[in-house]
Chain A
């Protein structure tokens, strides 16, 4: 659902039941300490207690593989290698603790080509700044309620880059008809 508008409007807010966010482990990666502080405050207020923070791809990679978080928030522009690099490592590195983890990419970029780049790197959700409590929590709900199918090709491993969910498409399958394999659990990338 990269680039998707979060599916959280007033109706959904009224209908919501409480999530046990306290059961989640979340990794926040941003080189700006103020942004990390803001994200941490929002997530902690929502009930998250197992919060890990990193400021670079190197420290994030170590924290990711040690803590094995349930969700990763990563800023695109970091000091040194970018957040895109971290997403690619999470998805395709043989040492990745969890290639399927939902990754929410935060960025000041708003152009469509950046959304496509984030999508192609394997981001699950894209969140353009400025951020708010509502937009952050909406992305959390999105990854919980609307998990993405995963795709493996020779050149890509990550969330399905097509916008609809499996089974939604009614037309002729033009991508290698007959070669798609639906399985319950993914083999290692």
Chain B
């Protein structure tokens, strides 16, 4: 099959560079700017547990709705809640929440909606709640690692 097609390539003027200046040889982050941004995150860290708790509650509610009526809307809402935790769990200091949520997303991705094993779904949701309840932050918890591994293995068996 021919790949020929009209193609136009152009380099837009770098208006951003003209606006912000700075940089120098290849650019980079000014260390003071980076430090200020990291301090801003540090100042918010006290809220992270509450933020994750809100998202975990959302997951729990979405799971209940999906269990009560498994349709496209409830499945999508449940998937979105899982995906949010997968992306944000580690950002907010709970990498095991993110890891289990990742496993849950894989489960929802790989198994047809009408064949999803309820017990395995609930095991994921419960694991996430326990990790948060026990304030398992960082990557050091052996128990959380084993739990995550076990859930991932069960999902792999289905995929």
Residues on A facing B (Cβ under 8 Å)? 7-8, 11-21, 23-24, 32, 34-35, 37-38, 41-42, 44-47, 70-71, 77, 79, 100, 102, 106-108, 129-134, 136-138, 141, 143-145, 147, 149-155, 160, 166, 174-176, 179-186
Contacts and interface: CB of A to CB of B under 8 A. Distances in A.
B78 interface: no
A132 B17 CA distance: 23
B27 A45 contact: no
B30 interface: yes
A141 B12 contact: no
28 contacts: A8-B27, A13-B31, A14-B31, A15-B28, A16-B22, A16-B23, A16-B30, A16-B31, A34-B88, A71-B16, A77-B84, A108-B88, A108-B102, A129-B90, A130-B89, A130-B98, A132-B41, A144-B16, A147-B12, A147-B14, A150-B11, A153-B7, A174-B3, A175-B4, A176-B5, A176-B7, A181-B10, A184-B10
B20 interface: yes
Kindly state the interface size class of chain B when it binds its partner.
35 or more
B40 A77 contact: no
Interface of B: 3-17, 19-34, 36-41, 43-44, 47, 51, 54-55, 80, 83-84, 86-92, 95, 98, 102, 105
B56 to A, nearest CB: 12
